Amino acid sequence: MIQLENIHRYFQVGEQSVHALNDITIAINKGEYVSVMGPSGSGKSTLLNVIALLDKPSSGRYLLNKLDVTQRTDDELAKVRRENIGFVFQFFHVIPRLTAAENIEMPMILAGIEVKERKQRVAQALASVNLQDRASHRPDQLSGGQLQRVAIARAMIMQPEILLADEPTGNLDSKSGMEIIELLEGLNQQGVTLMIITHDQTVGNRALRKIRIVDGQIAK
């Protein structure tokens, strides 16, 4: 379902041109569990951003569900993102003034879903990440692991087929990190395509398919 063909991405940093992605060609099938590893600066975050449609490749073709998404406007991409892709970030990225439930609700608000359905789905999502009793807590009253579970619930609320996780355990102690990984793997077993970016070997090695990136190229 994700097809990257000869993707290049250049950045202009000062007077230097950085070649962040160098001729990347990969295909990821529905329901796969993929980890992307590599040293910092290798281009793995750029790869994630391109797949996530947050960043546009300088050249190459990207087919998502057999649709070419390289030449789309920002707003079209926003809609594609909303319906197909869920995100989990290293720094959780929850909105501090909103409660856990409100943070989870946000993608549905943007999608224009009726209030009644929103409430139902939020309640289900909170239950699925085991945070029923934290629904009206604000982020500053939650632990890191809880925040990441809120983020996962939010990522899955639109029932996307793809779940992208950028260093999901990077800011957590190993115990809650492991809980998060197990939660993500559980979602994968339900059929969600899971892609985890990490430089933690133990996390990366759990994936069935491991992609290693060095200097913007896929290492064999």
Partner 1 sequence: MFIKDTLTQAYGAIRAQRLRAALIILAMSIGVASVTVLTALGESARSYIVNEFEALGTHLVIVLPGRSETTGGHPPLFGETPRDLTLDDADALFRSHHIAAIAPLTIGSAPVSAQGLERETNIFGSTHALRRVRHLTMAQGSFLPEMDVDKAMPVCVIGQTIREELFVDQPALGQWLRINDRRFRVVGVLASEGQSIGVDFDEMVIIPVASAQALFDTHSLFRILIETKSKESMYKAIDEIKSIIKARHEGEDDITIITQDSVVSTFDKILTALTLTVVSIAGISLVVAGVLVMNVMLVSVTQRTAEVGLLKALGATKRQLHWLFLTEAAMLSLAGALLGVLLGQVTIATLEAVYPDFPIQSPGWALLAALGVSLFTGLVFGVLPARKAAQLDPVAALSKR
Q: By the criterion CB under 8 A, which residues form the site for partner 1? A: 49, 52, 54-55, 74-75, 78-79, 81-83, 87, 89, 91, 93, 95-98, 106-107, 109-112, 154, 158
Q: For the CB of residue 220, give the shortest distance to partner 1 in the complex, in Å.
A: 28
Least distance CB 205 / partner 1 (angstroms): 27
35 Cβ partners below 8 Å, 6+ apart?
195, 196, 197, 198, 203, 204, 205, 206, 207, 209, 210, 211
- CB of residue 70 to partner 1, shortest distance in Å: 16
Q: Which residue, 169 or 206, is less far from partner 1 as judged by CB? A: 169
- Do the beta carbons of residue 187 and residue 26 sit within 8 Å? no
* Residue 199, burial from CB neighbour count under 10 angstroms (0-12, 13-18, 19+): middle
- Pure H helices in 74-218: 74-84, 100-111, 115-128, 144-156, 174-189, 201-204
Minimum Å gap between C-beta 86 and partner 1 is 9
Q: Minimum distance from CB of 21 to partner 1 (Å)? A: 13
DSSP string, 189-207: HTT-EEEEEES-HHHHTTS
Q: Looking at beta carbons only, is 164 or 187 nearer to partner 1?
A: 164
Closest CA to 85 of 182, 155, 14: 155
Nearer to partner 1, 154 or 206 (CB): 154
Of 43 and 206, nearer to partner 1 (C-beta) is 43
Q: Would you say 20 or 28 has its CB closer to partner 1?
A: 20
